[in-house]
Structure 1
């Protein structure tokens, strides 16, 4: 997509007063209610550490990846968080515009799941393999790969698509609290040798610790 298209999208935001490109991938966003901030806009199918390094010591508050299908690697996320930069897909930048401190903007789906898992009393740490694939370091010495998927009615097709996109995982966590896990999703999970849960059952699974 052209920078003109991105600029058009930003100017359509009700809180944006003006935008000014500082370079090919850094833009200054002036807001109506809050102070201006700088954002870096990437266009990567896979965001790696090398893509964010040059923004870490800059005044950029948010590093956003424009393609909706793009993924973030754990090292890229770690770099941003260690340097106080918000990170994520396009939706995080839109949230940042509505946030007084744009560097604190988050994807609520990821943030809620991450917090709930990290606060579990049998979890020692939660790290990222990808933005939607968490590594849960359990008290019993096991590291579980937990995929996050936001679907209303989670199907077997959704499960297989996540498996192809994220690689193997031990648990698929349905992050949408509404809707259902469909019967064929359980069938596919059994065939793949994985589990599929909502957040409550995921926490129960961690409590039992029998993997």
Structure 2
């Protein structure tokens, strides 16, 4: 049994008291909840989940309900997200899977770190087009015709190093949006962003930009 499957099973038994889980084969587990349909989840240890990997897991497990990127560092490419949401198959972190088990929306669940922020952007009338490149990066086109590449950063207090690391990993962005509702980017982070050519901001600042552009 792979390490990530072992940890997932242990976590479900210990943390989610009313749920039980068993290993099926390879990276797949079956989760049972009282009075609910069983859930088949594939637990991946990949650092990056792309469309090819998502399709391979689905081919291996046609009844897959959820694909879990178990590593905290796991990054989801846009092609994988579009494939899974088109089935529909839920996707995201171990925490996303845990919440979805109890919420009863496993097949439509999306990564909980970015779900609400991305949904908020989708609801803005001035945003006429969205292209999701990664779980945390999207390009938006506004009614004015202007486009902005936006990176969502979940860190409590993003530092200058966090901004530079994000830039190196995902490429240039126009905006780094600190989506953690409780934190604020450090002054050094804001200055590092400006040095790279991007703005580091919270929702209050981003909402003003969306209204005025």
Query: Could you say which residue in structure 1 is the equivalent of 2:42?
Result: 40
Is 2:145 the partner of 1:141? yes
Query: Could you say which residue in structure 1 is the equivalent of 2:30?
Result: 28
Is 2:55 the partner of 1:72? no
4+ long deviations beyond 4 Å: none
Query: Could you say which residue in structure 2 is the equivalent of 1:192?
Result: 196
Compare 187-196 and 160-169 and name the one that shifted more: 160-169
Is 2:126 the partner of 1:122? yes
- CA distance in structure 1 between the partners assigned to 2:52 and 2:155 by the alignment: 31
Query: Could you say which residue in structure 1 is the equivalent of 2:51?
Result: 49
Change (3 A) 1:14 1:148: same
Query: Could you say which residue in structure 1 is the equivalent of 2:156?
Result: 152
Q: By how many angstroms is 1:106 displaced?
A: 2.9
Question: What is the total number of aligned residue pairs between the two structures?
Answer: 209
Whether the 8 Å CA contact 1:15–1:97 is kept in 2: the answer is: no
Q: Unaligned regions of 5+ residues in structure 2, if any? A: none
Change (3 A) 1:118 1:59: same
TM-score (norm 1): 0.90
Q: By how many angstroms is 1:99 displaced?
A: 1.6
- CA distance in structure 1 between the partners assigned to 2:8 and 2:66 by the alignment: 15
Is 2:146 the partner of 1:111? no
TM-score (norm 2): 0.89
Change (3 A) 1:33 1:198: farther
- CA distance in structure 2 between the partners assigned to 1:185 and 1:126 by the alignment: 26
Q: Unaligned regions of 5+ residues in structure 1, if any? A: none
Which deviations, in whole Å up to 9, do the C-alpha atoms of 1:6-62 show, x marking residues without a partner? 322222132454322222022111124633211111121110101111417822211
Compare 84-93 and 71-80 and name the one that shifted more: 84-93
Compare 20-29 and 3-12 and name the one that shifted more: 3-12
Say what the alpha-carbon RMSD is for the aligned residues. Answer: 1.9
Higher share in strand = 1
